Amino acid sequence: MLERAMHVWRVFGAGVSFSFVGLAGVVVFPLLNALVWRRRWRKEVARRMIWLTFRGIVNAMCLLRVIRVDITGLERLDRRGLLILANHPSLIDVVLLMAFVKRADCIIKRGVWRNPFTHATVRAADYIRNDSGPELVEKCIASLESGSNLIIFPEGTRTPEHGFVRLKRGAANIALRTSCNVTPVLIRCTPAVIGKGWQFWRTLSRSVHYKIEVREDIDTRSFTNQAQNEPLAARRLTLYLQEYFSNENRSYAA
């Protein structure tokens, strides 16, 4: 009986926490879009509001014992122009990361842009739309050069339970074209049952423990110097990152 009651409490706590996102999306951010016409000002205000909101959601879920979060290396995120690459084991990874990254930019799926509860939010924040082609890479490069901290989940989907990841080459192309180092972030959760194919509310039979580790930067200059051309360098960097994240996932699971 107590276990059932705690499950209901955690579902309630998560629902209350995330309801603020939907409320802001249909009330606050439409007003921001209407009242603040300058795109740069609107973007800065919106991104700070999102950072504060997500930090509040994470704190609220911790207080309500929905999740526990331990983070190390947080000081490495207190910089500008970071290319942050993270694995993607659960449904709320973007919320967790953006709660700790100021001036965060990210790539948003088309469905989020079309969703009536989130359209005004992502429009105000001027996040990068996930359109195919070279335009996406150019927008990512411009974001980094402007001083934003770009968060990318290079797998393009959630990390499978076996931990082996397959990365797309876009993140490596961005890193090499901007001469930007990679800031890797490892996200681990226990129990590891809130990945792809799982409904979040069903996983709250117990509190979920997140461990977030911000690692030291990976220097990308060696890949540029050792390769004959940029496509080869991007291929080698992608393989290196793929092995890096896969090894870390498997070592944690073991």
pLDDT along the chain (254 residues), means of 10: 55 60 70 88 94 89 87 96 92 90 91 86 92 82 95 77 68 92 93 56 68 96 86 91 84 58
Closest CA to 81 of 220, 201, 182: 182
Q: Could you give the maximum distance between any two Cα atoms of the chain, in Å?
A: 65
How far apart are the C-alpha atoms of 78 and 202, rounded to whole Å? 35
Q: What is the pLDDT of residue 203?
A: 55
How far apart are the C-alpha atoms of 135 and 140, rounded to whole Å? 9
How far apart are the C-alpha atoms of 55 and 76, rounded to whole Å? 17
Q: What is the pLDDT of residue 178?
A: 92
Q: First-to-last CA distance in the chain?
A: 33
- If you ran DSSP here, which 8-state letter would residue 64 be given? T
Q: Looking at the 3D structure of the chain, how many domains does it have? A: 1
Q: What is the pLDDT of residue 100?
A: 95
Q: What is the pLDDT of residue 41?
A: 92
Q: What is the pLDDT of residue 35?
A: 87
Q: Domain span at residue 150?
A: 2-253
Q: What is the pLDDT of residue 7?
A: 53
Query: What is the tally of helices (H) and strands (E) in the chain?
Result: 10, 7
How far apart are the C-alpha atoms of 67 and 60, rounded to whole Å? 9
- If you ran DSSP here, which 8-state letter would residue 127 be given? P
3 state SS of 52: helix
- Token readout for 61 is 């879920």
- Pairing type for strands 104-108 and 182-190 reads unpaired
- Token readout for 182 is 């990679």
- 10 Å Cβ neighbour count for 85? 25
The enclosing domain of 35 has a CATH number of 3.40.1130
Q: What is the pLDDT of residue 142?
A: 94
